Every structure is written in structure tokens, then in C-alpha cells.
Amino acid sequence: MPNRLAHETSPYLLQHADNPVDWWPWSEEAFAEARRRQVPVLLSVGYSSCHWCHVMAHESFEDPATAEELNAHFVSVKVDREERPDVDAVYMEAVQAATGQGGWPMTVFLTPDAEPFYFGTYFPPAPRHGMPSFRQVLQGVHQAWSERRGEVDEVAGKITRDLAGREIAYGDDQVPGEEQLAQALLGLTREYDPQRGGFGGAPKFPPSMVIEFLLRHHARTGAEGALQMARDTCERMARGGIYDQLGGGFARYSVDRDWVVPHFEKMLYDNALLCRVYTHLWRATGSGLARRVALETADFMVRELRTPEGAFASALDADSDDGSGRHVEGAYYVWTPAQLREVLGEADAELAARYFGVTEEGTFEEGASVLQLPQRDEVFDADRIDAVRQRLLAARAGRPAPGRDDKVVAAWNGLAIAALAETGACFDRPDLVEAAVAAGDLLVRLHMDDQARIARTSKDGHVGANAGVLEDYADVAEGFLALASVTGEGVWLEFAGLLLDHVLARFADPESGALYDTASDAERLIRRPQDPTDNAAPSGWTAAAGALLGYAAHTGSEPHRTAAERALGVVKALGPRVPRFIGWGLAVAEAVLDGPREVAVVGPSLDDPATAALHRTALLGTAPGAVVAAGTAGSDEFPLLDGRGLVGGEPAAYVCRNFTCDAPTTDPDRLRTALSG
């Protein structure tokens, strides 16, 4: 018989709807039930494409004996971290403080007042590698609760007070200057892996936000070392197993230092960020590899993540059926030499094995290999390789596909909108721009209410109940600003302004300028979450700073500019010390130091060839954080167009920064020069 999760819309929660565990969704009713029964709460947090979440579910939550113990002694609460990032953040902070590490599934035991007292992540069904079994943990917690309740309450209260008392080093309300950005670059150089690209050791995550900083720093200063780190990292990722060499798109991370074996889940946010990174790398260098990867990643998102409503789904699972009924990580993506021969025949299989690095020993499990591009010097017949790739892709399409998490997350769709709009504009792919516009339309129509408050998620055209957090407002505003620049439609600038008004009114501390992850009127947790550092995507704090800065450049709004600069005080404090974890904040700081530049393109029509040439040149400029407004003379679509007209009867571009404007130009080459140094 299904439990309470059967009424939820989260794919992750629905995966647990038939468990014998008497699950509750996160709700006041669940904690009221714990108070009524005087039992602790088991909080289990995960997400639908999490491999070890699936493992623990199969081993423990589907086990009748374990469920019986849970139902007898606990109120069990299941949370989708992607729907409730605030709940996840608060308790993950407690897990990391107590254990020194974190991850998912996250397992936390709480008092009926939601105060945590015992922590962990994955627990096996039997003792293993020094870990107790999950049932041993349950028995130990139940015994402590029953026999030493006073001690448990004391521990929980102390942990909660410690969390509430934590402070973030804001720095001051000044943006990072040349010195801090140079120190950040030096810190990244020390952590850079010159042989393999990327930063640090295994596991290795795509450093999207850091690469944006490096590209912007090079554009502003000409620092070749910054560009080299960005270019080499992008090449090594694109040639590695973390990149899907057949269908495009990136997996979540590499389990090794060489980018060979990925954790196979494919997330919307990773692919949106990396699509934009490779587009910007191409814009800076003209790299053919960057162009190919940007377009393949964009096509992957549209082909495999787009929902019938026009937005983008959250993720593809890491696991799938391997054809024998087993649910196996990576089964959809990996190949053996025998499988290559079965699809391609002997001669083409030998070519494919050499080209993609498929060996008899394998690079993954059970003799299978993850496809890579290891042969740097050997020359291959491009047409033959393309034919081989298409045949393998068609054969792979016949395998059982990984599951898809169809919920639409506002923030991640904002990232996708920005990436697709810019990629479509740079590579003359209007279909990608149209996909970005369609996703923007859905967010406005479904996620935003009549007060421009934004809902975190929707699914199948139905909006979810959870309120948007800071990253939702910031990333969607960023996407809308990109649409405004690319389409020349000022309504997107208006929508961005409405969202950013909420950031100023409901997420900002008026005294310090610091930003909170939840609104002032959001559900109260044991701590109001607040984190300026990047995780898999830009932090809401620095994403908001970037959107506020872009909006201020478009409109001349001093309150938005001031709020952006005050928010960057934390980057001044943290950038030189932990640059890997505040990359987007460093990228925004580069835009502040560059201006950012404001570009107005005026012509008789955006369809006019001369106007379109200036508009595209403006969008291809590498100046950090530059904003572009394009429209007809006398248009009131954008403030930047006010008072600007044709020059000698010809379309013209106006470039300004720091309250100083260049002479308008009708020449795309002169405009290109004005935006490249």
C-alpha cells in the first residue's frame, strides 16, 4: 500500500512511495506526529539521480524488517534536496561539522523540535568497512532516546546553538581589487593540475565557475596563464570519459584525476554551465573543439532534457538496466570490444576501439570501457569516424535508457536559458534561442505569481508548493538578462527587475549587505541558511551579485549597483583564500573592474543586415559582464537606447563604461576592438 509520498510530485519522493517505511514529506504535521508519539525523527535527504540513494533504498528502505523498526520507533521524513535546498543546506552543515564530510543520501536524526543529534550519510545493511549497519544505528539511536533522553536533548540543543551562532566573514562592502584577484589567480595556479587539467585530485568536478573567472581575467588583463588553465582544462574534460563522446553532454564528475571514469548522472546545471563555458572559450580563442562541445551540449539539453511544456528536466539517472534485469551504473554508456564488433563489424570496431580508447581490459567495470578521445596525434578519417559515431549512437538508443527526473527547477532553467540564448546567438542557431525563450515563457507563466514571487519547481505543467530560494531569483534573472541582450525584447529586462526587487527586499541584510539563501518570510528552520561559496552551481549570493550588476548596467540603477558591490565584500575576504570555491564571485568582480561595459545597438530593425551585424559583434565581445541592448531608434525597450539614434542614417553601436562613452561606430570591426580590450 503506498505511503504518504504517493501524493507528492517529486520524482525522488515518488520513488519511495511504495516503500514499507511509513514516510512523511517534510511538514509541520510530521513533527507534530513525532511530538505526539514522543519519538525522534529520521530525516533522509537525497535526489532522484543519486546512485547511493538508490542503493540504500534497495538495501534498507525496501526491507520489511528495517521498515518495521523505523515505523515502530521513529517518524521518517523523506526530502528531495533539489526541491528543498534550504532543508538540505541546514542539516548538511550539521553533518559536515560533526563528521568532517557530507554527501547523499544524508541521514540525520532529529528531536521533534527539528534539532539534530546524530548524523551520517549512507549506512550499509550489514557492518562494512568500519561502518555500522543501518539497523545497528537505528537500535543505538532508539536506545539512547529511550534511556538517555536528557543527554540527547542537551546534545541537540548545543548543536543547534552552535549552528545558529556561526558567522560568515563578510569582509567589507568593497569589491575585490587588482590585488585580491591576482592573489586568487595565484591560489588557483598552485592547485592546478598541469598534466590533467582541473584543480585538486580525485574525485574531480568540472570547475565551471572558476573557468568563467579565468576567461574574464584573461579578457581584462591579457594574462596568458589564466587562459591556458581554462583552455587545457576544457580540452581534457572534452576528451575524457566525463564527456559523452556519442551524444554530447557532461556527467556529474570524474571519480579519477584523469577525467576517465565519470559518475554517470547528467545534471541540467552542469550542462548549462559547461555549455556557456565552452561558448565563451570559443568566443575568446576560436577553438573548433570548444565550438563542437558547446553545440553538442546544447543539442543534448534540448534533445534529452526538454519537457513537453518547454522547460528543462533536472537530470538523467546514472543507473540503467544492463539488459539482463540488473540496474547498473553506467550501463547505458559503456562498451566492450565485443559490443563494438557486434554493431560495427571487425574493421570499424578496431578503428572505434583505437579512436575511443576501448580495450580488452576495460577502463570501467567488468571489462567495459568509457568512451574517450585518447589519441591526440593519430590522424583519423573524419567522415568514417562520424559514420561510426552515428552507428554507435543508434545502437545505444536501443538500450534501456536511464531514468529522467522531469521536475523543472527554476534556478537550473535560468542557467540553461542563459547558456542556450548565448550559444544560439554566437553560433547563429536561432532554434537554440527559441528553446531559451520557450523556457523563459514557462517560468513567467507557471513559476511566477502576480507579485513576481517565484516557485522553486514544477512538474508536468503543475507548479510545486515550495518557495523559490535566492538562487532561483538570481539565476532566472541572469537568464532573463541574457534573453534581453540576445532577443532585443525589453520585457525580459523588466521581468529580471521584478525578480531582483525581491532579492533586495526579502533576501538582503540591510545592515551588512549580506544575502541569505531564503527569504525573510520563508519557513523558519533551525538556522537561516546562508552560503556565499559555489557548489555544483554558483552560490545564490554571488549569482545575485552578478544579476544585480547586469541590471544596474542596463538601467543605471544605483541601488542595484550598490547592492551588487556590497555583496562582493565576501569575495574580497574569501577569494584570495579559497578561490576554487568562489569562482562566480571572482567572475562578477572582474565585471565590476571592467565596468561592466554597456553596449547599445541602434538600427531600423534587428532584421536589418547591418544592424544584425553590429548586434552579433556586440554579443561576441569578450569584455567581462558586458550588457547589450539592441533596438530601433527612439525605442523605449531599453534605457540604454534612450537618446541614441542612427549615425549618418546608418545603424550604430554605442559603448560606455564608468560614466564615459566612446564615439558611436557604424563599423563592426571597430566595435569588436572596443569590446576586446
Q: Are 385 and 476 found together in one domain? A: no
Question: What mean pLDDT comes out for the span 11-33?
Answer: 95
- pTM for the predicted model, two decimal places: 0.95
pLDDT (0 to 100) of residue 627? 98
pLDDT band at 171 (very low <50, low <70, confident <90, very high): low
- pLDDT beyond 80 at 168: no
What's the mean pLDDT in 191-196? 96
Name beta bridge partners: 277: none
What's the whole-number mean pLDDT along residues 552-579?
Answer: 96
- Kindly provide the b/e burial profile for residues 560-577, where b requires at least 16 CB atoms within 10 angstroms of the residue's own CB: bbebbbbbbbbbbbbbbe
Structure confidence at residue 334 (pLDDT): 97
pLDDT of 172: 66
The count of C-alpha atoms lying within 13 angstroms of the C-alpha of 51, restricted to the half-sphere facing its C-beta, is 16
Query: What 3-state class would DSSP assign to 595?
Result: coil
Q: Are strands 75-80 and 327-329 parallel, antiparallel or unpaired?
A: unpaired
User: By residue range, what is the domain housing residue 377?
Assistant: 333-398
| Distance from C-alpha of 482 to C-alpha of 349, rounded to nearest angstrom | 44
Position 172 in a domain: no
Domain final residue, candidates 594, 619, 652: 594
Rounded to an integer, the average pLDDT of 278-306 is 98
Write out pLDDT tens, residues 104-137: 999 999 999 999 999 999 999 999 888 899 999 9
Predicted confidence (pLDDT) at residue 310 exceeds the cutoff of 90: yes
Single residue among 594, 618, 641 that ends a domain in this structure: 594
Are residues 615 and 628 in contact, defined by beta-carbon separation less than 8 angstroms? yes
Q: Are residues 339 and 359 in the same domain?
A: yes
Chain mean position to CA 376: 30
Looking at the predicted structure, is the pLDDT value of residue 378 above 80? no
pLDDT at 377 over 70: no
Residue 65 identity (one-letter amino acid): A
Task: Say yes or no to pLDDT of 272 above 80.
Answer: yes
The answer, yes or no, to whether residue 594 has pLDDT greater than 80, is yes
Predicted confidence at residue 131, as pLDDT, reads: 86
Task: Indicate whether 500 pLDDT > 70.
Answer: yes
The region of weakest confidence among 31-45, 48-62, 190-204, 252-266 is 48-62
In a 10 Å sphere around its CB, with 0-12 CB exposed, 13-18 middle and 19+ buried, how is residue 612 labelled? Answer: middle
The neighbour count for residue 676, using CB atoms within 10 Å, is: 13
Q: Which residues contact 535 (CB under 8 A, 6 or more apart)?
A: none
Instruction: Please determine, for residue 472, whether its predicted confidence score (pLDDT) is greater than 90.
Output: yes
Gap between the Cα atoms of 305 and 302, Å rounded: 6
The predicted-structure confidence for 418-443, as pLDDT tens digits, reads as follows 999 999 999 999 999 999 999 999 99
Alpha-carbon torsion angle 661, 667, 672, 677, nearest 10 = -40
Q: Are residues 590 and 459 in the same domain?
A: yes
Are residues 412 and 392 part of one domain? no
170 band by pLDDT with thresholds 50, 70 and 90 = low
DSSP for 42-99?
EEEEE-TT-HHHHHHIIIIIT-HHHHHHHHHH-EEEEEETTT-HHHHHHHHHHHHHHH
Predicted pLDDT of residue 402? 94
Instruction: Give the chain's mean pLDDT.
Output: 94
On whether both 149 and 253 belong to a single domain, the answer is: no
Q: Is residue 535 one of the residues assigned to a domain?
A: yes
Q: For residue range 639-665, list pLDDT tens digits in order.
A: 999 999 999 999 999 999 988 899 999
Whether pLDDT at 630 is above 70: yes
**CATH number of the domain to which 562 belongs:** 1.50.10.10
Q: Write down the pLDDT at residue 376.
A: 75
- Whether 169 is in a domain gets the answer no
For residues 581 and 605, membership in a common domain is answered with no
Task: Please check whether residues 106 and 87 belong to one and the same domain.
Answer: yes
Measured from the Cβ of residue 153, the count of other Cβ atoms closer than 10 Å reads 15
| Spatial CB neighbours of 555, under 8 Å, sequence gap ≥ 6 | 493, 497, 639
Element (H, E) at 609: helix 609-619
Q: What backbone torsions phi and psi does residue 118 show, to the nearest 5 degrees? A: -150, 140
Mean pLDDT on 216-231: 98
Q: What is the pLDDT of residue 167?
A: 66
Tell me what percent of the residues of the chain surpass a pLDDT of 70.
99
Q: Which amino acid, 518? A: T
Task: Tell me which residue has cell 548586434.
Answer: 615
132 & 184 share domain = no
- In the chain, the number of structural domains is 4
- Tell me, yes or no, whether 14 lies in a domain: yes
Question: Residue 95 has what pLDDT?
Answer: 87
Distance between CA 340 and CA 452 in Å, rounded?
53
Do residues 374 and 368 lie in contact, with contact meaning Cβ atoms separated by under 8 Å? no
**CA–CA separation, 62 vs 81, rounded Å?**
20
* Cell numbers that stand for 638 in this block: 531599453
Q: State the pLDDT at residue 348.
A: 95
* Burial per residue of 8-24, b for 16 or more beta-carbon CB atoms within 10 angstroms, e otherwise: bbbbbbbbbeebbbbbb
Q: Per the domain annotation, does 57 fall within a domain?
A: yes
Q: What pLDDT sits at residue 354? A: 95
Identify the weakest region by mean pLDDT among 41-55, 339-353, 574-588: 41-55
Tell me what the mean pLDDT of segment 349-362 comes to.
96
Q: Which residues pair with 78 in a beta bridge?
A: 25, 44
Using 50, 70 and 90 to split pLDDT, how confident is the model at 668? very high
Q: Of the residues 140, 164, 188, which one is the last residue of a structural domain?
A: 164
In a domain, 387, yes or no: yes
Let me know how long the chain is.
677
Q: What string of DSSP letters covers 380-416?
A: --HHHHHHHHHHHHHHHTTSPPPPEE-PEEHHHHHHH
Name 42's Cβ contacts closer than 8 Å, sequence gap at least 6. 70, 74, 75, 76, 77, 107, 108, 109, 110, 138
* Whether residues 518 and 631 fall in one domain: no
Closest to 470 measured CA to CA, from 428, 411, 517:
517
Pair 219, 367 in one domain: no
Element (H, E) at 338: helix 337-344
Number of neighbours of residue 98 by Cβ within 10 angstroms: 17
Residue 35 domain-assigned (yes or no): yes
CATH number for 54: 3.40.30.10
pLDDT at 102 over 80: yes
Q: Are residues 659 and 513 in the same domain?
A: no
Inter-residue contact 261 to 364 (CB < 8 Å) = yes
Residues 549, 622, single domain; the answer is no
E strand residue ranges, 241-399? 253-254, 262-263, 266-267, 315-316, 319-321, 327-329
Q: How confident is the model at residue 98 (pLDDT cuts 50, 70, 90)?
A: confident
Residue 328 lies in a domain: no
Scanning the structure block, which residue is given the C-alpha cell 570547475? 207
List of E strands, 510-605: 598-603
